[in-house]
Chains A and B, each alone.
Chain A
């Protein structure tokens, strides 16, 4: 019974740690599959975290918080879209600027809310938590956002490979000129993909500030946006590999906490580095086949589209 409890605790904790990466990663996967490289994930997550937290506290509703976070992420993505898609600014530079902006903007907006608890809201998303048996309490930590994060890979796989919309998305990312010649609106599809990526990043950020560690602190996303970006590339744009990468990150994060708890004589800073390092190393090993990387990469990734005719 006790061992089962530990196993469940590890699985639950892993899922929770993997959730932000799963959400932001799949948002970015959709964006990149349309041929747009948005390096602003970290910034969009932070803005989502700040606005989600403020929204939840002000409105007294977590749901409102999450919705505001998604709108905030999408709004930032819209700025990126206008700059790179309509005005054809360089995607890499604009994405970096977006992250820098998001870091500063979220800190500015959230400065009054630093350290404030989620006052007046239930301690977690499920009510009556404290009266349930311990094992159920553990399971209850799987809040609806985690459930969404678990479903996202399946939904994304189904959408990308089984639906007509996914086919068009892949087509636009493969060759915007051909898609345009066939009569598809490249810019509209890319805008939708970029907005989807922004909303997912915002949601991921809000999960950080409303559930994972329910509070707002400056720069609290702590590089997860960058890891999500790296996961997308190293997963060679495949939903299954991306999901595995996110889970791996979650697992090593938990291992790191355990190691700290057991008092391993290693600097906590080194341990904190571990999830990032392990994820990157494993995925680099997976994706070292350059041919496969090229074969799966959206061929039009990062290239601006201008309808010449």
Chain B
């Protein structure tokens, strides 16, 4: 090695972190050069989050050394990390909803400067990097993309020399993501290193110069994403061959099983979204994908479809030809509705219940209860059947919900809902935070269900997923739902524009086509 070459910005040697029952990181070596955009790849539970928390001083390693620009350091807490020049943009934004942008940034800086001076500095940085933020606005008014810009500006104000980005594009439209990449490339060209955590391989190929792959808490390999194929990187991540999803046969036009007609509903929360004149039709055997960045009315739409909120009129929501708008969740389930909510524990399942009781929760109307008495044998068999069919990793049918990993719990919930043979299935972000293997199994289950004649409505932020499984795609933006487009007739760019709220012009063109499609 050339003696005059600068030391790496950050070098980790033999980092190990154990928790009570698991080893989260085991002997991890990682080196990030100055001005390098370095990808950290891995499935959920591979140890990525623990590792970046160690770098940012939130977690302390049990063993191993951290060297910053050639000098060994101990990072006691996030303040120490920031003092070194490490900035971090969190996956779930670390912003306070009820405070203003400037107040949020002041809290993150830890510097004792007045809001006035700070505002001037925020404006300067945001001009320099083209990151539009308004210091005096309250965070709860901001879109997700704007919130991320606030986080980035907050980091940049500390003139970081290493910026950690944790799954930064999971909540962005494709266009916003492209804008983010420009900023990151510009930062790298100015000498700032970037540690980029993601599982979106196409992004890593487009952006990063080096990659470290983690699996089961260990480094299993490194590669140059510019020359490796996505297939190779994915197989490194999952440690085996990538299973292939089977596309089902093209659909026949089925009967409408879920109809929403001109539904408008005010938000019931201060930071909620009003639904505005939403109409949709879901037919038997069809998968309708609802794309859009979270916070554009997804929660509200799902609540009014599942029955957690009542529609203003019975006719606004029709399930299997019954006006169901005023029915509660149980009544709607009796009509053949099933629902996979976004939060696994707390809404989809009870953390403290064993899997058998969690299976019973929504399936009791399907032969598991006789004369008001629970048939425990049948429940047990049903839970076992779900576990077997979906390869749920659990310590038996009596395992508590909270003991399962997120992906396994989700597989169990999907299995439970699919197992009731619903006429209509609502799935909210079904593969969010789920690893590649489990995500494939879940998508396959949704496609199989549709092939068997059910209607499936999938709300997701993952465009690749929607394009893979949906027959039609609509976009929810600002509480309005765009008319459905046949998946193979639209493009990611077009959907991305709709997600960004450019409905007005585009929507009119679509309307004509939407009608043709429906006819």
CB-based contact A178/B94 at 8 Å: yes
Q: Which of B77, B107, B112 contacts A171 (CB 8 A)?
A: B107
Per-residue A-contact encoding for B92-106, CB less than 8 Å = 1, 0 else: 001111110001001
Question: Taking A183-B77, A294-B269 as contacts, is the C-beta distance between A168 and B94 under 8 angstroms?
Answer: no
The answer, yes or no, to whether B78 is at the interface (CB within 8 Å) is yes
The answer, yes or no, to whether A287 is at the interface (CB within 8 Å) is no
In chain B, positions 81-140 with a C-beta closer than 8 Å to chain A are 82, 90, 94-99, 103, 106-108, 110, 112
The answer, yes or no, to whether B385 is at the interface (CB within 8 Å) is no
In chain A, positions 152-176 with a C-beta closer than 8 Å to chain B are 164, 167-168, 170-171, 174-175
Question: Taking A170-B99, A309-B53 as contacts, is the C-beta distance between A291 and B270 under 8 angstroms?
Answer: yes
The answer, yes or no, to whether A295 is at the interface (CB within 8 Å) is yes
In chain A, positions 290-307 with a C-beta closer than 8 Å to chain B are 291-292, 294-296, 299
Nearest chain B residue, comparing its CB with the CB of A298:
B98
The answer, yes or no, to whether A139 is at the interface (CB within 8 Å) is no
Q: How far is the CA of A292 from the CA of B79 in the complex (A)?
A: 34
Neighbouring B residues of A181 by C-beta, 8 Å: 58, 78, 90, 94
Nearest chain A residue, comparing its CB with the CB of B57:
A183
Question: Taking A182-B107, A183-B79, A309-B53 as contacts, is the C-beta distance between A171 and B59 under 8 angstroms?
Answer: no
Can you sample 29 A-B contacts with CB below 8 Å? A164-B112, A167-B103, A167-B106, A167-B107, A168-B107, A170-B98, A170-B99, A171-B96, A174-B98, A175-B96, A178-B94, A178-B96, A181-B90, A182-B78, A182-B94, A182-B107, A182-B108, A183-B57, A183-B78, A183-B82, A183-B110, A184-B107, A291-B270, A292-B270, A294-B270, A295-B98, A295-B270, A296-B98, A309-B53
Per-residue B-contact encoding for A209-246, CB less than 8 Å = 1, 0 else: 00000000000000000000000000000000000000
State the Cβ distance, B46 to closest chain A Cβ, in Å: 16
CB-based contact B96/A174 at 8 Å: yes
CB-based contact B58/A309 at 8 Å: yes
Q: How far is the CA of A296 from the CA of B138 in the complex (A)?
A: 13
In chain A, positions 258-282 with a C-beta closer than 8 Å to chain B are none
Q: How far is the CA of A299 from the CA of B107 in the complex (A)?
A: 17
Neighbouring A residues of B106 by C-beta, 8 Å: 164, 167
Q: How far is the CA of A237 from the CA of B266 in the complex (A)?
A: 26
**B interface with A by C-beta (< 8 Å):** 53, 57-59, 77-79, 82, 90, 94-99, 103, 106-108, 110, 112, 269-270
How many residues of A are counted as interface, with CB atoms below 8 angstroms from the partner's CB atoms?
20
State the Cβ distance, A235 to closest chain B Cβ, in Å: 16
State the Cβ distance, B23 to closest chain A Cβ, in Å: 16
Q: How far is the CA of A126 from the CA of B82 in the complex (A)?
A: 54
CB-based contact A299/B98 at 8 Å: yes
Neighbouring B residues of A168 by C-beta, 8 Å: 107
CB-based contact A178/B95 at 8 Å: yes
Q: Which of A182, A184, A299, A309 contacts B97 (CB 8 A)?
A: A299
Neighbouring A residues of B99 by C-beta, 8 Å: 167, 170-171, 174
Nearest chain B residue, comparing its CB with the CB of A174:
B96
State the Cβ distance, B245 to closest chain A Cβ, in Å: 35
Nearest chain A residue, comparing its CB with the CB of B138:
A295
State the Cβ distance, A286 to closest chain B Cβ, in Å: 17
Q: How far is the CA of A309 from the CA of B110 in the complex (A)?
A: 21
Q: How far is the CA of A299 from the CA of B97 in the complex (A)?
A: 9
In chain A, positions 127-170 with a C-beta closer than 8 Å to chain B are 164, 167-168, 170
Q: Closest 5 CB pairs between A and B?
A: A183-B78, A178-B94, A183-B79, A295-B270, A174-B96
State the Cβ distance, B343 to closest chain A Cβ, in Å: 16
Nearest chain B residue, comparing its CB with the CB of A170:
B99
Other than A171-B96, A295-B270, give 14 A-B pairs with Cβ distance below 8 A: A164-B106, A164-B112, A167-B106, A174-B98, A178-B95, A178-B96, A179-B107, A182-B107, A183-B79, A183-B82, A291-B269, A292-B270, A296-B98, A309-B53
CB-based contact A309/B59 at 8 Å: yes
Q: How far is the CA of A174 from the CA of B270 in the complex (A)?
A: 14
State the Cβ distance, A11 to closest chain B Cβ, in Å: 36
Q: How far is the CA of A309 from the CA of B96 in the complex (A)?
A: 20
Q: How far is the CA of A294 from the CA of B98 in the complex (A)?
A: 10
State the Cβ distance, A299 to closest chain B Cβ, in Å: 7
Among A164, A170, A292: residue with most chain B CB under 10 A? A164
Neighbouring A residues of B78 by C-beta, 8 Å: 181-183
State the Cβ distance, B54 to closest chain A Cβ, in Å: 10
Q: How far is the CA of A294 from the CA of B269 in the complex (A)?
A: 8
State the Cβ distance, B160 to closest chain A Cβ, in Å: 15
Neighbouring B residues of A167 by C-beta, 8 Å: 99, 103, 106-107
State the Cβ distance, A227 to closest chain B Cβ, in Å: 26
Neighbouring A residues of B98 by C-beta, 8 Å: 170, 174, 295-296, 299
Nearest chain B residue, comparing its CB with the CB of A297:
B98
Q: How far is the CA of A294 from the CA of B268 in the complex (A)?
A: 11
State the Cβ distance, B345 to closest chain A Cβ, in Å: 15
